[in-house]
């Protein structure tokens, strides 16, 4: 699919269907309960445009039109026929894209990410696990640190914290008391990174409970 510049174009409609399918997948896993979480995909780079899931909706029941086209600051693009409004967190999605060059961003509210964010505010270290290959790291003899940042309702402040903590070798960050952000070159890669990082967090949480 090629880039789009306005909601309702065939290209954006295609991205909307893809976002809905991915949201339903994560909701079925229990990672986007209630109306929590959001997904985005880059539809254009010059100027930067992202299609994001609309705010306040059950992510397991979205339709292809329940998406919003936003600009480089996360604001709804004027003149587009959005079915809802973007979450304030769309601004953080846009910030992640600008910082990393990602093509898609996933934000989920999982128990393991919230719990481990509280337990390891300085970062969560992993090593000697085959699953690390799923985020492009070595399975052995390498320590991989997943950054953890403090939460804020101010997306500029939260974005500054993310930028300061960003590990260019890890496509994810935990927001303490909030959830997990991951990204990738496209939605498929972002989904894989989300699944791998969540697995690592669940394992670490289970091991802590067993100690």
Residue 79: the pLDDT is 64
Place of tokens 């393991």: 112
User: Is the preceding peptide bond at 47 cis, omega within 30 degrees of 0?
Assistant: yes
Beta strand 67-70 with 179-184: parallel, antiparallel or unpaired? unpaired
Q: Quick check: 55 and 66 in contact, CB under 8 A?
A: no
Does the structure show a pLDDT above 80 at 210? no
Cα dist. 37→104, 134, 201 in Å? 14, 22, 17
Does the structure show a pLDDT above 70 at 175? yes
Indicate the length of the chain as a whole number.
211
Cα dist. 128→123, 131, 132, 142 in Å? 17, 9, 8, 7
**pLDDT tens digits, residue range 94-108?**
999 999 999 999 999
Q: Which helix (H) or strand (E) holds 198?
A: helix 187-210
Residue 4: the pLDDT is 34
Residue 3: the pLDDT is 35
Top CATH class of 10-210 equals: alpha beta
Each residue of 146-166: b (16+ CB within 10 Å) or e?
A: bbbbeeeeebeebbebbeebb
Residue 64: the pLDDT is 80
Does the structure show a pLDDT above 50 at 2? no
Does the structure show a pLDDT above 90 at 202? yes
| Sheet architecture: strand order including 67-70 | 67-70, 48-53, 38-45, 104-108, 179-184, 172-175, 148-149
Does the structure show a pLDDT above 70 at 183? yes
**pLDDT tens digits, residue range 9-38?**
545 678 899 999 999 999 999 999 999 999
Does the structure show a pLDDT above 90 at 61? yes
- Residue % of the chain over a pLDDT of 90: 84
- R_g over Cα of the chain: 16
Gap between the Cα atoms of 168 and 67, Å rounded: 29
Q: For the chain, what is the largest distance between any 2 Cα atoms, rounded to a whole number of angstroms?
A: 56
**pLDDT tens digits, residue range 126-174?**
999 999 999 999 999 999 999 999 999 999 999 999 999 999 999 999 9
């Amino acid at each position: 699919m090629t880039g789009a510049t306005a909601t309702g174009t065939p290209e954006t409609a295609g991205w909307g269907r893809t976002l809905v399918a991915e949201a339903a997948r994560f909701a079925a896993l229990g990672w986007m309960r209630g109306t929590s979480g959001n997904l985005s995909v880059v539809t254009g780079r010059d100027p930067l445009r992202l299609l994001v899931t609309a705010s306040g909706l059950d992510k397991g029941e979205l339709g292809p039109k329940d998406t919003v086209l936003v600009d480089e600051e996360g604001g709804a693009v004027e003149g587009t026929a959005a079915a809802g409004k973007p979450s304030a967190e769309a601004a953080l999605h846009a910030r992640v894209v600008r910082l990393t060059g990602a093509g898609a961003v996933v934000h989920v509210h999982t128990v393991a990410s919230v719990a481990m964010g509280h337990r390891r505010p300085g970062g969560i270290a992993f090593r000697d696990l085959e699953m690390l290959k799923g985020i492009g790291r070595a399975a052995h003899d390498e320590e991989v640190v997943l950054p953890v940042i403090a939460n804020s309702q101010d997306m500029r402040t939260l974005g500054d914290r993310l930028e300061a903590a960003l590990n260019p070798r890890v496509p994810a960050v935990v927001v303490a008391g909030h959830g997990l952000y991951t990204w990738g070159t496209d939605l498929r890669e972002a989904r894989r990174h989300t699944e791998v990082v969540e697995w690592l967090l669940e394992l670490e949480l289970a091991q802590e409970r067993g100690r």
